[in-house]
Amino acid sequence: MERLQKVLAEAGIASRRKCEELITAGRVQVNDEVVTTLGVKVDPKQDSIRVDGKPIRKQSKVYLLFNKPKGVITSAEDPEGRKTVTDFFKHLKVRVYPIGRLDYDTEGLLLLTNDGDFAHLLTHPKFHVPRTYLATVNGVPHGTMLDKLRSGIKLEDGMTSPAEVDYYDVDPDKKEAIIKITIFEGRNRQVRRMFDAIHHPVIKLKRVQFGPILLTGVPRGKSRPLLPVEVEELRKAAQDVGAGKSHNIHKGELDV
Ligand code: URA
């Protein structure tokens, strides 16, 4: 059983808040009875639900892999009027929203869906699936510095948990290096703060892997639907944290 406003929102009628307004305005019927109180629970499979007399249709679930460019905000709306990830999906019949977030200046793999349960599973801290990034940093960090990131480093909100960290590419004139880092938790600006802590600030950050899913073959600003098998793999990775350990990505395999 689910709350009526949630079921309406998931059927793409409107946002959850707007659906609450529809209910209190007396425009929603459940099994031919008008419901005006909030919090009523329904069974979307059994109950007949209508809005303004029209039956709601269950939306098919959509799962997308997007290669987010930098300079795009990961939220549905931005009060400052900046470009948002949902601007890229206005042509779809369904409303999709991002699973987790990437900073405005971070690019790379972002999943979007209209499946609230799936999004919840993949963003819940208890089920945190590993995320892998290529971080282009200022200078070339010494191996002992990378060891610090591997074992855990003190940030202002506490020690980080162990990360997988490797050199991906080093600039011949040693001005910068690309470091591949996999983290198993998702604090705000975590990767940037980890490199700040070893005094090699991030110049460019790109997420290249999310659990078992790699960002390959999707140009910047473009998306592709996830295959059903990939959706299943992600569900499994969330339930079996650690199963999606980073692939052995080698230099040249991914666009930086
Ligand atoms: N870590 C960051 O610092 N930024 C991101 O966008 C993601 C992880």
Per-residue pLDDT of the chain (256 residues; tens, 9 = 90+): 999 998 998 887 877 788 899 999 999 999 999 999 998 999 988 999 999 999 998 778 999 999 999 999 998 778 888 999 999 999 998 889 899 999 999 999 999 998 888 888 898 877 789 999 999 999 999 999 999 999 999 999 999 999 999 999 998 888 999 999 999 988 999 999 999 999 999 999 999 999 999 999 999 999 999 999 999 999 998 887 544 444 456 667 667 7
Cβ(205) to ligand 1 under 6 A?
Answer: yes
Q: Which CATH architecture has domain 130-210?
A: 2-Layer Sandwich (3.30)
Q: Which amino acid is at 203?
A: I
Interhelix angle for 116-123 vs 228-239, to 10°?
Answer: 40
Rounded to an integer, what is the distance from CA 51 to the centroid of its chain?
Answer: 31
Give this prediction's pTM.
0.81
Nearest to 150 by CA among 135, 171, 164, 166: 164
Name the residue at shortest CA distance from atom 2 of ligand 1. Answer: 189
List where CATH 3.30.70.580 sits in the chain. Answer: 63-126+213-238
Name the residue at shortest CA distance from atom 7 of ligand 1. Answer: 102
- Report whether 89 contacts 96 (CB < 8 A): yes
Q: Which fold is adopted by the domain 2-55?
A: 3.10.290
Cβ(192) to ligand 1 under 6 A?
Answer: yes
pLDDT for 244: 46
3-state secondary structure of 169: strand
Q: Is the dihedral of CA 251, 252, 255, 256 positive or negative?
A: positive
pLDDT for 249: 60
- Report whether 97 contacts 114 (CB < 8 A): yes
List where CATH 3.30.70.1560 sits in the chain. Answer: 130-210
Name the residue at shortest CA distance from atom 3 of ligand 1. Answer: 189
- Report whether 199 contacts 133 (CB < 8 A): no
Query: What is the 8-class DSSP label of residue 87?
Result: G
Tokens matching residue 180: 């591949």
Measured CA to CA, the distance from residue 211 to residue 154 in angstroms comes to 25
Q: Which CATH architecture has domain 63-126+213-238?
A: 2-Layer Sandwich (3.30)
Cβ(149) to ligand 1 under 6 A?
Answer: no
Cβ(106) to ligand 1 under 6 A?
Answer: yes
Query: What's the helix, strand, coil split of the chain in %, to 5?
Result: 25, 30, 50
Catalogue the active-site residues: 103
- Report whether 224 contacts 218 (CB < 8 A): yes
pLDDT for 242: 45
Tokens matching residue 255: 């666009």
Q: Which residues pair with 65 in a beta bridge?
A: 111, 224
